[in-house]
Amino acid sequence: MGARRLTPADRIYMSLNYTVLFVFCVTALYPFIYFLALSFNDGYDAMKGGIYLYPRVFTLENYIKAFNNPLILNSFFISISRTLVVTVFSVLLTALLAYALSRKGLPGRKYIVFFFFFTTLFSGGLIPTFILFRQLQILDTFWVLVLPSLYNFFNAIIMKTFFDGIPEGLSESARIDGASELSVFARIVMPLSMPVLATIALFVGVGVWNDWFTGQFFIQNENLQPAATFLNKMISEASFQSMTSSSGNSGSAIQNMTETQMELRGVTPEALRMTFVIIITTPIICVYPFLQKYFVKGVLVGSLKE
Amino acid sequence: MMPRGVIIPGFEQVRRNKKFAKIWYFRHIYLFLLPAIVWFLVFAYYPMYGILIAFKDFKYNLGILGSPWAGFKFFEQFLNDSSFYDVLRNTLSISALKLIFGFPAPLILALMLNGVMHERIKKVFQTISYLPHFVSWVVVVTLMQKILSPNVGLVNDIRYQMGLDPIFFMGMPSLFYPLVVISDIWKGVGWGSIIYLAALTNIDPHLYEAAEIDGAGRWSKLFKITLPCLTPTIGILLIFSLSGILNAGFDQIWLMQSPSTLSVSEILDTYVLKTGLQQGQLAYSTAIGLFKSAISLILIVAVNNISRRVSDVSLW
């Protein structure tokens, strides 16, 4: 951009541009503010409506109830341990795969890449996967929350492209000095690749944290269900209630409380859901802005044609 | 009839040794690949073998190979199923609407963000626009259900104060598609714009300077420089979208659908899940899944080949 003076047309264009972007950002942010206000408001008072930006009858009761409920607490414990385990192992294993694929001159590399790439084009589908889990006997165990999430070939491609950019000379000279492949990988490649490792860790971590499907359909044991699944069960119970209660009267919804919600008496199920949404979203909101500069580059690199 | 005289005796042997020496040199790298190969064989390729049950009267105790063959029975059953046309129509309608309205959205956002001259403000706008991408559909649908709820949801609350009757937005079949498309754009537009923003930074600024000297205005610069420079990126993304036309978005649709919207909200993926995991018709459900995967695979190969031929843009 040169140092040209802005014409009136430019000014109109700019202010229109800024206004539209501002409105979009408000719509992206506002639902969370709305829920934040409701989660800190007394549930019965909230039923009167009219809470938009801040709580009217401030209370911490919703959060206290949420954190004192063994099922909620347990689902968080499951989600946190699952996310940690999957993220650590997935990043390490994917890096190992990506490093191997980035080694030039590897005999048969074309065929090996196709072996992995094909899985992104075609898959067995839901039922064969379900039968596989059954045969492996990992249904309804912690394993089903971990093992199937370990690899994603797109992540490997992003890492491989990053590794391709590391000068060959660095690892070559280490090899001449007698370093093994493993120590080249661990001592030279990995430390240089922190940006891409952080990006992939974010992608994997967020994906696993947000995954409700596995818990919903492959886990029966209530003590093993992740937080996202638990939240989904709370909503489907609620929408079922608003279906059945003719006038959509919240009063009858409370009388129809299911077993899970019985233990939460004292706060409305509605307020508890708002609270739950805030609790489940907070870790993500805290993490992603800090990794933004990495994943913007990561997406760029991963999108380049092979 | 190869002339053999010129071959040095033992040459083949040397070449084979060389090849073997090279493989031996990379032995540790193959070891690095081993866990990935095992995982993909088990979790990606073994389910492909499991597809066989689409052609079998599958019984758990008989196993995949042991179950009796059923031929194309389940495919015929699906094609004759009264839900077939509804499910296919819903899938294609939702995908097409998402493509028409959702595909240009990230491009427009990127162009708008690119027009923001203050770096700081641009960063803030960008960061906020990514936020919805990072929360799960469970959370997004919860937000929607609350905001649109007939009992003191935000929208009906405002309608009430204006003296209007509450509307049960999420339960109305006529509003299902608009809500699906709008929420899909809301969630994905910021994230989708990253790739265009990256491509925009790669455009040579000299092109714009030269155009300005020639007296080009805002719009002619957009149509003569910016969009042509973005064409390869747009092309790649279009290939992806077109080949995914049978993916209407499982998570979103499953979570948003309710008994009252079923006539417009049942898509291939949700139907597979219901017939398979919920009703236990494993073979039938697998057949429907295979129908979908096969068409998707054909589509992605076809679209990619056509695109490579006409525009040189392709995934492989």
A246 & A129 share domain: yes
For residue A93, the enclosing domain spans 74-270
A148 & A240 share domain: yes
Tell me the nearest-neighbour CA distance from A231 into chain B, angstroms: 7
Put simply, the answer to whether B149 touches A242 (Cβ < 8 Å) is yes
Q: What is the pLDDT of residue A263?
A: 47
Taking alpha carbons only, the member of A66, A44, A72, A68 closest to residue A57 is A44
The better pLDDT of the pair B45, B66 is held by B45
The better pLDDT of the pair B202, A82 is held by A82
Q: What is the pLDDT of residue A142?
A: 95
Does the pLDDT of residue B37 top 70, yes or no? yes
- Judging contacts by C-beta atoms under 8 Å, the chain B residues touching residue A209 are 136
Report the CATH number that the domain containing residue A109 is assigned in CATH: 1.10.3720.10
Indicate the residue of B142, B157, B166 with minimum beta-carbon distance to A231. Answer: B142
Please tell me the distance from the alpha carbon of residue A226 to that of residue A209, in angstroms, as a whole number. 8
pTM (two decimals): 0.87
- Judging contacts by C-beta atoms under 8 Å, the chain B residues touching residue A101 are 33
For A50-87, what is each residue's pLDDT tens digit? 888 999 889 888 999 888 888 889 999 999 999 999 99
For B93-148, what is each residue's pLDDT tens digit? 999 999 999 999 999 999 999 988 888 999 999 999 999 999 999 999 999 998 99
Tell me the nearest-neighbour CA distance from B310 into chain A, angstroms: 17
Does the pLDDT of residue A246 top 60, yes or no? no
Q: What is the pLDDT of residue A256?
A: 44
B2 falls in which pLDDT band (50, 70, 90)? very low
Nearest chain B residue to A277 by CA distance is: B139
H-only helix segments in chain B = 11-25, 27-40, 46-50, 63-66, 73-80, 83-97, 104-114, 119-134, 137-147, 154-161, 173-201, 205-213, 218-221, 227-243, 250-256, 262-265, 268-273, 282-311
A141 & A261 share domain: yes
A219 falls in which pLDDT band (50, 70, 90)? very high
Q: Give the total number of structural domains in chain A.
A: 2
Does the pLDDT of residue A240 top 80, yes or no? no
Q: What value does the mean pLDDT of chain B take? A: 88
The better pLDDT of the pair A265, B277 is held by B277
A107 & A172 share domain: yes
A61 & A151 share domain: no
Nearest chain A residue to B53 by CA distance is: A128
Does the pLDDT of residue A255 top 80, yes or no? no
Nearest chain A residue to B284 by CA distance is: A127
Does the pLDDT of residue A252 top 50, yes or no? no
Q: How far is CA B219 from CA A13, B186, B226, in A?
A: 11, 27, 10
Please tell me the distance from the alpha carbon of residue B188 to that of residue B192, in angstroms, as a whole number. 6
A95 & A148 share domain: yes
Q: Would A248 be classed as within a structural domain?
A: yes
Indicate the residue of A103, A128, A206 with minimum beta-carbon distance to B51. Answer: A128
Tell me the nearest-neighbour CA distance from B247 into chain A, angstroms: 13
Q: Would A12 be classed as within a structural domain?
A: no
For A198-218, what is each residue's pLDDT tens digit? 999 999 999 999 999 999 999
Does the pLDDT of residue A247 top 50, yes or no? no
Over range B6-30, report the average pLDDT.
76
Q: Would A130 be classed as within a structural domain?
A: yes
Does the pLDDT of residue A254 top 50, yes or no? no
A161 & A196 share domain: yes
A61 & A149 share domain: no
A117 & A195 share domain: yes
Please tell me the distance from the alpha carbon of residue B247 to that of residue B293, in angstroms, as a whole number. 10
A105 & A175 share domain: yes
Helix axes B173-201, A269-303, angle to 10 degrees: 40
Q: Would A15 be classed as within a structural domain?
A: no
- Judging contacts by C-beta atoms under 8 Å, the chain B residues touching residue A48 are 152
How many CB atoms are located within 10 Å of the residue B260 CB?
A: 15
Over range A215-232, report the average pLDDT.
92
- Judging contacts by C-beta atoms under 8 Å, the chain A residues touching residue B126 are 292
Put simply, the answer to whether B26 touches A24 (Cβ < 8 Å) is no
Annotate A24-36 with b (16+ C-beta within 10 A) or e (fewer): bbeebeebbebbb
Put simply, the answer to whether A107 touches B277 (Cβ < 8 Å) is no
Q: Would A164 be classed as within a structural domain?
A: yes
Best of B20, B23, B29 to mutate (most A CBs within 10 Å, chain A)? B29
Per-residue tokens: A2:
């040169």
Long-range contacts of range A264-267, CB-CB < 8 Å, 24 or more positions apart?
Answer: A264/A65, A264/A69, A266/A61, A266/A65, A267/A43, A267/A61, A267/A62, A267/A65
Q: What is the pLDDT of residue A48?
A: 81
A108 & A247 share domain: yes
Domain B74-137+173-311 classified CATH 3.40.1520.20? Answer: no
Does the pLDDT of residue A130 top 70, yes or no? yes
A94 & A213 share domain: yes
Encoded amino acid at A87, one letter: T
